[in-house]
Amino acid sequence: MTSGEAQSPGAASPFRRVEDAVGRALVGALDAISTRTFAVHQAALLRIGYGLVFLVSLLREYLNRREIWGDRSAWSPDMARELLNGIEGVSLLLESDSRWWFEGVYLAAIVVSALFVLGWHTRATSILFAVMVVSFNSRSILMTDGGDTVLLLMSIYLAFAACGRVWSLDARRARRTGVRPGTGPGHEVGVLVGLIAMVVLGTTCRGDSWAVHPEFSFAFVCRWIWLPGILVVFGALWRLPREVEQVRAGLVTAIHNCALFVIAAEVCFIYGAAGLYKVQGSYWQDGTAMHYVLNLEYFAPWPGVSHTLAANTEMGVLISYLTVFIQVGFVFMLFAKRVKYVAIVILLGMHFGIAVLLGLPAFSASMSVGDALFLPTAFLIWTRSRVIGRLTARLRRGPAAPARAPADPRPPAVPPASDGPAGLSPTASRA
Amino acid sequence: MQSPDDAVPGQPVDRSKPEVESGAAAVGTATGGPTTDSGPAPGTPSPAVRIPEQAGERSPVDVPTDTAVPAEERRSIAVRSVTAVFAVLAILVTLVHVFFVFLHVAPSNALTKEYQKETGTWVYPYFEQNWALFAPNPMSENFRVQAQSRVRGPDGGVVESDWSDLTLDDLNHIRGNPYPSKADQNMIRRAWSSYSDSHDAKDESAIGSRGPLTQRYLRRIVVHRFQDAGLNRSLESIRIRVATTAIGKPDASPAPTTSYRTLGWWETKPDDFR
């Protein structure tokens, strides 16, 4: 039975078959990485989330802006330069010491983060956003806390991700005009914004005044990236040959997927490291950590509540242990679907507690947005439709009641609904 | 749990969506239920009916815009090879980055020591991070930065002020504030911790290269606070002391003791004032 036909290929075939299978899997994986844009909705949510965190913090600190980053800061520009010299840091805010430069950059940062939230020419805006976040961080490093670090890392990573493919002005424009991300006519505004982004990036990273490390470093890359960047941005004005366009799209997709992997890894690192450091601490082991944390004056906006909670030792032990378990186990829980969601819900609850009790809403928001990366797409879509649906319903009910009469021209606004099915097949009909 | 399980087989041919996603939807809504508790009681029966159609049926807003080249378009072998090379490059950079960030975040060990220089080059300045949040142990004491001023009076005599508690000013701003400012929460806190990290607690001599910088920062903060309190350039010198009070164990209740670390008088420089 296992005669000639089985034997002659049998000698070589198990290996060849494995070889073929491995080869096919490899090719398939590389194809998938460069053609499938994974987690588009999660990336968009991260864009909106981190954009809002930065925007709100800029608005919140508006009255203190000069003390924190500006001309009235105890951390003078010269001191900032001295510190950044050693670590090759850069900041757009240090280009000039004039007050009006500072005010201008502050205003620009507000506008940029608002546009980033809205997803307006997202790629260019995301680069500007990262430049702004880096600039404000580097200007006053001693003003930052963990939340600022998360925001800094994520803003850089998001510049590599295609985070404007959905829930953005870009997506809306693509639906309406048929001009999709890529190159060719219709991208003139995008090219202009991209050029501005490159000029700002180049200005920020000029760094002629501070030391240049001879060896390779990110600072070195950052210093020169705008040069090829300008060429790439200009190139987008012309429609590329089909093959080049395909390669370009593949590269963009691959980088997006890699960036999202890095973001996921980063979230795991944060929880893993935070958990493993805590395991080493005696207070976390004997469960008194909560007692100490809740008694720290700088993290007690509501001292009465904090002291009451700190006095409850049993609950303190429970929360201390739960914190360590979830943080250490987060990476592993991600691999079990149902457990993962339990972990995320607990973490969100923890972050809510940190936001309110420790007075760290920006930090908590940054961490929560990172967690959202692990939520399923369908849940995000369902939540969005519910939230937006309710919001628009309320808005329509609210102002429409007094403005019923002028709402007559509203019917033209309704057709977008009939516009919907056409939008499902991405706009090809109108393109 | 139960309702989404019913819902999935309930509308099996409804959508051509991959199973993974509808499965994820089911689980997601199962956990999503508790989070979006805002939904009133009638929300409980409805998910079984509503979720599959809402989650499965994407409104046009939820459909991602593709690139100019549709992903499913045929690609020649050459295009696929070139793209694959780029993809491999991107993956390599990603792995290197994740590797170095891991080494940077991990506690000191044989591997981190071996790659210390490379890690530093890769990570600084943009990817520096430290996640020892309230760890290994949270601080077991509270500190108050207090300051004293020497002002030259119009008659040429020097007037020495009482200690004023700068941290208390911060705390007064923080208390009752749901979103405290960085200026209150981080400025003195981090200025003091960076000063004490770079100075010897016994003789206040600088350790490392950042000593002078952190001292100057602390001095300028205090000068600015005195300026806010109404002093002008007649402020000649300032002195800082830090009062540290132990939090104490939860059960034991000996009266918390306060210890003081008093720094020397620091003369103000003209450019300290704003």
pLDDT of the residue at B272: 92
Identify whether residues A97 and A162 lie together within a single domain.
yes
pLDDT of the residue at B106: 87
Mean pLDDT of chain B: 80
Identify whether residues A92 and A223 lie together within a single domain.
yes
Task: For residue A207, name the pLDDT band (cuts at 50, 70, 90).
Answer: low
- Contact (CB, 8 A) for A218 and A164: no
Chain B residues closer than 8 Å to A159 by CB: none
* pLDDT tens digits along A134-186: 999 999 999 999 999 999 999 999 999 999 999 999 999 999 988 888 888 88
Answer whether B136 sits within 8 Å of A284, measured CB to CB.
Answer: yes
Mean pLDDT of A119-130: 96
Task: For residue B33, name the pLDDT band (cuts at 50, 70, 90).
Answer: very low
Token pair, residue B35, equals: 């989070």
Identify whether residues B50 and B134 lie together within a single domain.
no
pLDDT at B39 > cutoff 60: no
Mean pLDDT of A289-317: 93
pLDDT of the residue at A217: 64
Residue at A410 is within a domain: no
Mean pLDDT of A400-412: 41
Weakest-pLDDT range from A180-194, A271-285, A384-398: A384-398
pLDDT at A70 > cutoff 90: yes
Identify whether residues A59 and A204 lie together within a single domain.
yes
Answer whether A143 sits within 8 Å of B79, measured CB to CB.
Answer: no
Identify whether residues B154 and B264 lie together within a single domain.
yes
Answer whether A298 sits within 8 Å of B185, measured CB to CB.
Answer: yes
- In Å, how far is A8's CA from the nearest CA of chain B? 32
Q: Which of B28, B59, B170 sits opposite A376 (nearest CB)?
A: B28
DSSP state of B144: E
pLDDT of the residue at A213: 54
**What percentage of chain B has pLDDT greater than the value 70?**
77
pLDDT at A8 > cutoff 70: no
Chain B residues closer than 8 Å to A379 by CB: 24-25, 28-29, 32, 55
Q: Which of A36, A144, A254 sits opposite B86 (nearest CB)?
A: A254
Chain A residues closer than 8 Å to B180 by CB: 301, 359
Mean pLDDT of chain A: 86
Task: For residue A12, name the pLDDT band (cuts at 50, 70, 90).
Answer: low
Q: Which of A251, A298, A359 sits opposite B177 (nearest CB)?
A: A359
Identify whether residues B228 and B262 lie together within a single domain.
yes
Residue B221 and residue B274: Cα distance in Å, rounded?
A: 11
Q: Tell me which H or E stretch contains B241.
A: strand B235-246
Which value, in Å, is the radius of gyration of the alpha carbons in chain B?
30
Identify whether residues A228 and A299 lie together within a single domain.
no
Handedness of CA A310, A312, A318, A322 (dihedral sign): negative
* pLDDT tens digits along A77-104: 999 998 888 777 889 999 999 999 999 9
* pLDDT tens digits along A248-270: 999 999 999 999 999 999 999 99
Answer whether B183 sits within 8 Å of A242, measured CB to CB.
Answer: no
Question: Which of A350, A377, A404 is a domain's end point?
Answer: A377
Weakest-pLDDT range from A13-17, A382-386, B224-228: A13-17
pLDDT of the residue at B100: 95
Identify whether residues A224 and A313 lie together within a single domain.
no
> Cβ–Cβ contacts within 10 Å for residue B258, how many?
13
Answer whether A74 sits within 8 Å of B221, measured CB to CB.
Answer: yes
Identify whether residues B228 and B268 lie together within a single domain.
yes
pLDDT at A212 > cutoff 90: no
Residue with tokens 């010299």: A85
Residue type, B81: S
Identify whether residues B21 and B101 lie together within a single domain.
no
Task: Tell me the H-state helices in B77-199.
Answer: 77-105, 110-114, 116-123, 166-174, 182-185, 187-197
Number of domains in chain A: 2
Cα B112 to Cα B5, B64, B81, B97, B260: the distances in Å are 48, 41, 36, 14, 38
Weakest-pLDDT range from A22-26, A262-266, B69-73, B162-166: B69-73
Question: Which of B113, B138, B163 is a domain's end point?
Answer: B138
Identify whether residues B167 and B266 lie together within a single domain.
yes
Answer whether A341 sits within 8 Å of B249, measured CB to CB.
Answer: no
Q: Rounded to an integer, what is the distance from CA A146 to the centroid of its chain?
A: 16
Task: Quote the Cα angle for B49-B51-B56, to 5°.
Answer: 120
ipTM score of complex: 0.86
**What is the 3-class SS of A178-236, one letter each residue?**
CCCCCCCCCCHHHHHHHHHHHHHHHHHCCCCCCCCCCCCCHHHHHHHCHHHHHHHHHHC
Identify whether residues B25 and B57 lie together within a single domain.
yes
Nearest residue in chain B measured CA to CA from A244: B79
Identify whether residues B165 and B134 lie together within a single domain.
no
Answer whether A217 sits within 8 Å of B121, measured CB to CB.
Answer: yes
- Contact (CB, 8 A) for A46 and A266: no
Chain A residues closer than 8 Å to B191 by CB: 74, 142
Number of domains in chain B: 3
Identify whether residues A318 and A370 lie together within a single domain.
yes
Chain B residues closer than 8 Å to A27 by CB: 80, 84
Task: For residue B25, name the pLDDT band (cuts at 50, 70, 90).
Answer: very low
Identify whether residues B99 and B192 lie together within a single domain.
no
Chain B residues closer than 8 Å to A134 by CB: 126
Range of A122's domain?
A: 36-259
Mean pLDDT of B163-190: 96
Residue at A5 is within a domain: no
Nearest residue in chain B measured CA to CA from A363: B179
Choose between A290 and A207: higher pLDDT.
A290
Q: Tell me which H or E stretch contains B141.
A: strand B141-152
Identify whether residues B147 and B132 lie together within a single domain.
no
Q: Which of A67, A165, A258 sits opposite B94 (nearest CB)?
A: A258
pLDDT at A374 > cutoff 60: yes
Q: Which of A342, A362, A421 sits opposite B31 (nearest CB)?
A: A342
Identify whether residues A212 and A88 lie together within a single domain.
yes
pLDDT at B54 > cutoff 50: no
Token pair, residue A156, equals: 């850089």
Weakest-pLDDT range from A6-20, A266-280, B99-113: A6-20
Answer whether B125 sits within 8 Å of A84, measured CB to CB.
Answer: yes
Range of B255's domain?
A: 141-272
Question: Which of B98, B118, B138 is a domain's end point?
Answer: B138
Q: Which of B24, B140, B217 sits opposite A378 (nearest CB)?
A: B24
Identify whether residues B51 and B86 lie together within a single domain.
no
Identify whether residues A247 and A103 lie together within a single domain.
yes
Query: How many contacts does A have with B, using Cβ atoms within 8 A?
Result: 354
Chain B residues closer than 8 Å to A71 by CB: 274
Identify whether residues B154 and B257 lie together within a single domain.
yes
Mutate to test the interface with A, among B46, B50, B65 (most CBs of A within 10 A): B65
Choose between B209 and B72: higher pLDDT.
B209
